[in-house]
Chains A and B, each alone.
Chain A
């Protein structure tokens, strides 16, 4: 862990959960206070993110929800397991800066109780494949040394044969995974970028090389890997820069053990721009030609996106990945022009990735 938790707060009812007690034990040397849920509300982006405070919370809502997606672009049909919100890393482009209206790192301590209910729903769904991820609202592994999600989730997945779980991370916190006995239907995936974007914009995250070293360790221990180039960012010499990352992948990873690689160009809610300008005044990530997309988010003009995707697809193909490359939240015409084919609909994309999961894990 290369970040610091200075304060831990047990919010209302949290202490009755074993998950919370175990986390507090692991954090013993730190000050732990009891707190109420804040009564003061914030506008997203208008508060100090307070990444040094960990709040352990009993989350009253449903933890498993489909990725919201949008009608206008193809969505992969992912299910988000909401294990916590906010992230100790501090990437300049992170959408969470403008997404949540509450500060601090938040971890939901009633996860184990909720998994019982989720498990019943999964079982009732027969052969439908559930591709579940925990890395949408937080990093899947950054807090794992404290909260040990890797002790809870893989054993849950083992019991539900129609479920694939993806840990998505930028960290090298893989100790929990390496000591786990479960491998089946677990995907460990890393968010990657060009080395220079990683260095300048992904504050607090390990270098690309270190991430790939961790990925190699997981692959050697029998894990199936995934990668996510999201956000792809147009920056000087971006082709050479992304090619450097592909070179590193070639050095560390066997492409045969990769289930999927997603590509997504930088996009953001308009309100995020102000937040980024304020928090990272020197960043150049918003230099490109951005336009409002059909979903209201800002995104690069189409020719830029197509060029970036096509470049990445060609490079990944040369590396040896032929299957499982997909675009995150893109339109069919961009798919066709960049990748040469399109799943045509969100359902089509979902089927494509399900079939990939079935093939790799023999579901």
Chain B
């Protein structure tokens, strides 16, 4: 749609001149309807505001084909009034002022974009609605920047898919319990896998890094061992950790990730364990530590000595010199 500034101003003034009327809340169509874009919000503050000072800005509504009213703008306000048991609301009826669905949608969009930040699910809802009205190119050029998103086709495609995620997953994203990266990874999987993985993430309350490791390990293991993701996650060894009452949630999360890491990288895990055992069996003087590349790409170990002065350094070197068992530190990957 070609949105002209002049035309926009005319609409704006028409809207301003529109006299508010009282409408029964029962006449409002159920749900957010086709024009609103609020998701995952908290009504408490708005309810409190309405209780204290009343409704300051009348919502916009338009009559639909069924004879009830769709909310054009002010979904949360109307919800708050319903929540408080109000029977009526003072609204502006814009059916004839904003005849087309796109105009109604854009009025609400521009009202919102100027006054608040959208969460990612709201952005997804907006983009999905826009997709019904216009070409991708226009969305990329005109709307992605307004939503603080890069004008990349891949990003648009990803957001368009977000609306297909289950509501519980969308809620987790909105409440920042699930990272967008994890959501992206989930979207590449079938619905059954999404559900079971999301359940595990929810139960174990993985942090964002852990979510990605969990998803990557599970997916790799399933692929390599020709198992579905639900099959991997139904295995007794993992369920046993999940049901272990002696472990708290963070301990369970760590144990699950360790088990998956060892299964995904058996040789690396074994080599790491062997080196770690050897090094920890050596009684290094205090202030001395042995470091190594956890993946053993760097073939060398590194010795670090902290010391107060030269005398202290000599003492540490002397202790190191006389230490038994240094020769037992293996070359990484020995025995692999």
| Distance, CA A286 to CA B264, complexed state (A) | 11
CB-based contact B295/A47 at 8 Å: no
Q: In the complex, which residue of chain B has the Cβ closest to the Cβ of A46?
A: B154
CB-based contact B296/A47 at 8 Å: no
| Distance, CA A149 to CA B266, complexed state (A) | 48
- Interface flags for A287-326 (1: CB within 8 Å of B; 0: not) read 1010111100000011110000000000000000000000
Q: How far in angstroms is the closest Cβ of chain B from A117?
A: 35
Q: How far in angstroms is the closest Cβ of chain B from A48?
A: 9
CB-based contact A287/B153 at 8 Å: no
Q: In the complex, which residue of chain B has the Cβ closest to the Cβ of A292?
A: B295
Contact partner of A333 (CB less than 8 A), chosen from B150, B188, B268, B299, is: B299
Q: In the complex, which residues of chain A have a beta carbon less than 8 angstroms from the beta carbon of B30?
A: none
Q: In the complex, which residues of chain A have a beta carbon less than 8 angstroms from the beta carbon of B223?
A: 284, 286-287
| Distance, CA A363 to CA B297, complexed state (A) | 38
| Distance, CA A302 to CA B267, complexed state (A) | 10
| Distance, CA A72 to CA B265, complexed state (A) | 23
Q: Does A42 contact B (CB under 8 A)?
A: yes
Q: In the complex, which residues of chain B have a beta carbon less than 8 angstroms from the beta carbon of A278?
A: 188
Total B residues in contact with A, Cβ cutoff 8 Å:
29
CB-based contact B154/A291 at 8 Å: no
| Distance, CA A291 to CA B261, complexed state (A) | 12
| Distance, CA A141 to CA B204, complexed state (A) | 53
CB-based contact A301/B298 at 8 Å: no
Q: In the complex, which residues of chain B have a beta carbon less than 8 angstroms from the beta carbon of A127?
A: none
Contact partner of A289 (CB less than 8 A), chosen from B150, B219, B266, B297, is: B266
Contact partner of A301 (CB less than 8 A), chosen from B188, B224, B267, B299, is: B267
Question: Which chain B residues in 52-87 approach chain A with CB under 8 Å?
Answer: none
Q: In the complex, which residues of chain A have a beta carbon less than 8 angstroms from the beta carbon of B265?
A: 289, 291, 301
CB-based contact B299/A42 at 8 Å: no
Q: In the complex, which residues of chain A have a beta carbon less than 8 angstroms from the beta carbon of B220?
A: 286-287
Question: Which chain B residues in 12-66 approach chain A with CB under 8 Å?
Answer: none
Q: In the complex, which residues of chain B have a beta carbon less than 8 angstroms from the beta carbon of A293?
A: 295, 297
Given contacts A284-B224, A287-B223, A289-B266, contact A301 B154 (CB under 8 A): no
Q: In the complex, which residue of chain A has the Cβ closest to the Cβ of B152?
A: A43
Q: In the complex, which residues of chain B have a beta carbon less than 8 angstroms from the beta carbon of A303?
A: 267, 333, 336
